Chains A and B, each alone.
Chain A
């Protein structure tokens, strides 16, 4: 057991001297021959520190096994899990949850990670009911950090990232804002493939839609158009609720059916808007 104190450190530890050469004990500043171990008592051994993510990439396999950490691939910025992403510019590690679109430390815009879904970009739970009022604020906050106009003095690489990230945030905002597109996006995330080219022949559904569109066509004044509009909106809301229920029960067939009806009502509303 050795103990010494110098200007910098109190070093308590054991060094086994198996060689005939003398053991060097030193402070942090003076050079130590590389073949000799350095002990740093104030810092626990790197191997046993789970929170220290700046671990040297030696034997990461062993480290992961020892600490039972989620696997992070090296280099980190290519990993699919955003909890292990690090900034290409300054090396800071990204947030453990949520989207890492721009670095919190240096502000550098990050490359698009398509495994981050739209809900994560807006920090919202992946479900149909969202706080639509919050969308715009979060959208503007992101654009303040990502918009291409703000990176005109940066590198070509970062300008490229900014263009893609900013476009992705716009897509996310539009998709989440409209209930039907949000519903379809949720289905897509669940890997439910909706065959866009399938024709339907449900007579009741089609008759209803036909009559609805005919009513819009034949409406003679704005008053009647508004009346039809309010009826259609009510139906859209009602089917929107049905979607929410079906989706939460994972009844995906019904959910798809709901989105189909919603699509018809939306088309009718579009036509009414055109006429108004």
Chain B
């Protein structure tokens, strides 16, 4: 119950492209990087799910009712991630974690991004222990996006012959 109350007090609202309302409360628990990602959202948006070069990772944290969508655009020849975007409904830490994740996967190989650990994201954002699972959610979203892309490729491959 305490954890839920803490989450409620730290909750800032959803991440979309509109300017955050004046009602946003910057509680002393938030690191400046988290606030920065909230105020200046990077890579918020959506790719076409049906695009064969797009991998979509959709994950959720039922305990806090968070949903996180992370998409990657992959160059099929090089296997490099050329673009990424996200859409997250959850607390400031979840939004910032997914934002950081999209920044970090850009320009990397798919195998490489699978090694991104939630602890690195958490450290970068100075997340408190109670928010560690937000970074875990971002790590899972990256993995889910890569998995989705590979599944798509595997399905498409026999048709190309």
Interface pair A206/B140, CB less than 8 Å apart: no
Among the stretches B62-70, B75-83, B101-109, B152-160, the one at the interface with A is: B62-70
Do B58 and A206 touch (CB < 8 A)?
yes
Tell yes or no: A237 within 8 A of B by CB. no
A213 within 8 Å of B by Cβ? Answer: yes
**In the bound complex, CA of A274 to CA of B13 (Å):** 10
Q: Does B45 make an interface contact (CB < 8 A)? A: no
Which chain B positions have C-beta within 8 A of A175?
1
**Can you report 16 A-B residue pairs in the complex whose CB atoms are below 8 A from each other?**
A171-B1, A194-B63, A196-B133, A197-B61, A197-B133, A198-B61, A198-B63, A200-B60, A200-B62, A201-B59, A209-B67, A209-B89, A217-B16, A263-B63, A264-B60, A264-B67
A213 touches B59 (CB 8 A): no
Interfacial residues of chain A within 173-225, with CB under 8 A of chain B in the complex: 175, 181, 194, 196-203, 205-207, 209-210, 213-214, 217
Q: Is B136 an interface residue (CB 8 A)?
A: yes
Decide yes or no whether A266 CB sits under 8 A from chain B.
yes
Tell me the bound Cα distance from A197 to B134 in angstroms.
Answer: 9
The 7 A-B residue pairs with the shortest CB-CB distance in the complex, in nearest-first order: A267-B65, A260-B62, A196-B63, A197-B133, A213-B89, A263-B65, A206-B58
Report the minimal beta-carbon distance from B14 to chain A, rounded to whole angstroms.
6
Task: Report which of B3, B13, B60 forms a contact with A209, defined as CB distance below 8 A.
Answer: B60
Residues of B in contact with A, size category: 20 to 34
From B23, which residue of chain A is reached at the shortest CB distance? A274
Q: Is the CB of A210 within 8 A of B67?
A: yes
List B contacts of A210 (CB < 8 A): 58, 67, 69, 87, 89
Provide the bound-state CA to CA distance between A134 and B14, in Å: 37
Chain A residues in contact with chain B, CB under 8 A? 171, 175, 181, 194, 196-203, 205-207, 209-210, 213-214, 217, 260, 263-264, 266-268, 271, 274
Nearest residue (CB) in A for B61 is: A199
Which B residues are within 8 Å of any A CB, using their own CB? 1, 3, 13-14, 16, 58-65, 67, 69, 87, 89, 132-133, 136-137, 140, 144
Please give the distance in Å from A145's CB to the nearest CB on chain B.
Answer: 24
Min CB distance A176 to B, Å, is 13
Expressed in whole angstroms, the Cα–Cα distance for A78 and B58 within the complex equals 52
Q: SS class of chain A's interface: helix, strand, loop or mixed?
A: helix
A42 CB to closest chain B CB (Å) equals: 55
Chain A residue contacts of B14, Cβ below 8 A: 213, 217, 271
Contact between A266 and B65 (Cβ–Cβ < 8 Å)? Answer: yes
Interchain CB contact under 8 A, A201 and B60: yes
Measured between beta carbons, the chain B residues less than 8 angstroms from A200 are 59-62
**Contact, CB under 8 Å: B136 / A199:** yes
Which residues of the other chain, A, contact B61 by a CB distance below 8 angstroms?
A: 197-200
**Are B59 and A206 in contact, with the CB atoms below 8 A?**
yes
Specify which chain B residues have a CB less than 8 angstroms from the CB of A213 in the assembled complex: 14, 67, 89
Q: How far is the CB of A16 from chain B (nearest CB, A)?
A: 66
Complex interface: chain A residues within 8 A of B69 (CB): 210
A275 to B136, CA, bound (A): 29
Whether the Cβ atoms of B140 and A201 lie closer than 8 Å is yes
Residue on B nearest A257 in the bound complex, by CB: B62
In the complex where A213-B89, A271-B14 touch, is A264 in contact with B65 (Cβ < 8 A)?
Answer: yes
